[in-house]
Amino acid sequence: MNEEALYLTKVESHAADARTVFGFWTYLTTDCVLFAALFSVYAVLHVGGGVNLFSLPFVLVETLLLLTSSFTCGLALLAARDSQKAAVMQWLGVTFVLGAAFLALEISEFSRLVASGHGPQLNGSFSSYFTLVGTHGLHVFVGLLWMLALLIALSRRGLSRFNLRKLVLLAFFWHFLDIIWIFIFTFVYLTGSL
């Protein structure tokens, strides 16, 4: 490949990366709008002053699991910067386990509420609660699938430029989910009860 062709290939590759990152930020912006709408609906439909059905220590454990998973995801990025494939896979694996544990606790909380007769069909307040928290849980599930696919790609192709870009975008997504959860924890669990 001559020098000019190599230069054009690099420019085209950089342009493709820029489009991908721009598209991803556009997606995250639409997710912000989605969650803003869900928070607004919850705020309008929430009926305050009821019996607290949530165990704050239980929700705190969920929160610590998700925040710790964000930290381990950051450690995976640091390992990638140092080209340490094994460490990247290890930290992504830990992040996956923590995220899966968070999701399992969220599902058990939903199951407990439904079993006690406090499901989404009870009233608008519970419907908006299940929609808001369930949408976040669905995003966590998608993030876990993405993480699993990335772990497979890393094991097959290593720390390629393409896989590194996937890792960075996954980390943005995962940190975004943590920020949304902090708002849920504060707005739903700390400021009132259903």
Q: What is the pLDDT of residues 151-167, one digit of tens each?
A: 999 999 999 988 999 99
* Amino acid, res. 142: V
- Burial label, 54 (beta-carbon count in 10 A; 0-12, 13-18, 19+): middle
What pLDDT band is residue 11 in, cutting at 50, 70 and 90? very low
Residue 122 confidence (pLDDT) above 60: yes
Q: Give the closest residue to 143 by CA, choosing from 190, 98, 88, 89.
A: 98
| Tokens matching residue 166 | 């996937």
Q: Which domains does the chain have, with CATH numbers?
A: 3-190 (1.20.120.80)
Give the span between the Cα atoms of 42 and 77, in whole angstroms: 35
pLDDT digits (tens, 9 = 90+) for 160-189: 988 999 999 999 999 999 999 999 999 998
User: What contacts 27, CB < 8 A, 6 or more positions away?
Assistant: none
Give 31-79 pLDDT, tens digit per residue.
999 999 999 999 998 876 444 678 888 999 999 999 999 999 999 999 9
pTM: 0.87
Condensed to tens digits (0 to 9), the pLDDT of residues 71-92 reads 999 999 999 999 999 999 999 9
Q: In whole angstroms, what is the distance from residue 89 CA to residue 31 CA?
A: 27
Per the prediction, the chain carries an average pLDDT of: 89
> Alpha helix locations (H) across the chain?
3-45, 56-81, 85-115, 124-157, 161-184
DSSP 186: I
Structural contact between residues 108 and 114, judged by C-beta atoms closer than 8 angstroms: no
Per-residue model confidence (pLDDT) at position 4: 59
Q: Give the pLDDT band of residue 124 (cuts 50, 70, 90).
A: confident
Percent pLDDT > 70 in the chain is 87
Which pLDDT does position 60 carry in this prediction?
94
Tell me which residue has tokens 């870009």. 165
Report the pLDDT value the prediction gives residue 54, as an integer from 0 to 100: 81
**Which helix (H) or strand (E) segment is 185 a member of?**
none
